Amino acid sequence: MTQCERKRFLITAAVLLALGAAVPLCAARRAQGLALASDVLFAQASLFLVWGLIRQLVNMRMFTSAAWGVKSLRRLWQGRAESAQEMKDGYLHYRNTRPRHADAKPLLCVAAALMLLSALLAVM
């Protein structure tokens, strides 16, 4: 990870940790109860897991063809026709220029660590 990617990962992690802590604390306040540490960790781990899986799916280019199809449909509605070869070349260029997210694996690792810590706290 580069310095910029590391900084972006730390900001993302801070936001996910804050959101993950806020949700169970607000829910416990409404229920007039206490939020357990294991609940807070589990909520944080769930957010890290979802965000990490989204990043991993983007890295695997799972939605690239759908996004390209929408762009092609919009061009067709605007009356800009392209040949099959131009569309194929355009798609390959679009697919290969999509950014990759280096923080997918660290997010999933943090999610696993938080889930494990949550399970350990729940058992104790």
78-123 tens-digit pLDDT: 988 888 888 888 888 888 888 888 888 999 999 999 999 999 988 8
* pLDDT value of position 100: 84
pLDDT of residue 27: 67
Residue 53 pLDDT class (50, 70, 90 cuts): very high
Tokens 């983007």, located at residue = 58
The answer to whether the beta carbons of residues 48 and 55 sit under 8 Å apart is: no
pLDDT in tens, 25-50: 776 665 566 567 788 888 899 999 99
Cβ atoms of 17 and 44 within 8 Å: the answer is: yes
Give the single-character DSSP code of 102. Answer: T
Instruction: Classify residue 108 by burial, with Cβ atoms within 10 Å: 0-12, 13-18, 19+.
Output: middle
Angle ∠(16,115,9) on CA atoms, nearest 5: 30
* Stated pTM of the model: 0.72
Domain boundaries, the chain: 1-61+103-124, 63-97
pLDDT at 23: 75
- The pLDDT assigned to 10 comes to 83
Segment 75-79 mean pLDDT: 88
Return the axis-axis angle of helices 37-59 and 104-123, rounded to nearest 10°. 160
Dihedrals phi, psi of 34, to nearest 5 degrees: -110, 145
pLDDT of residue 40: 85
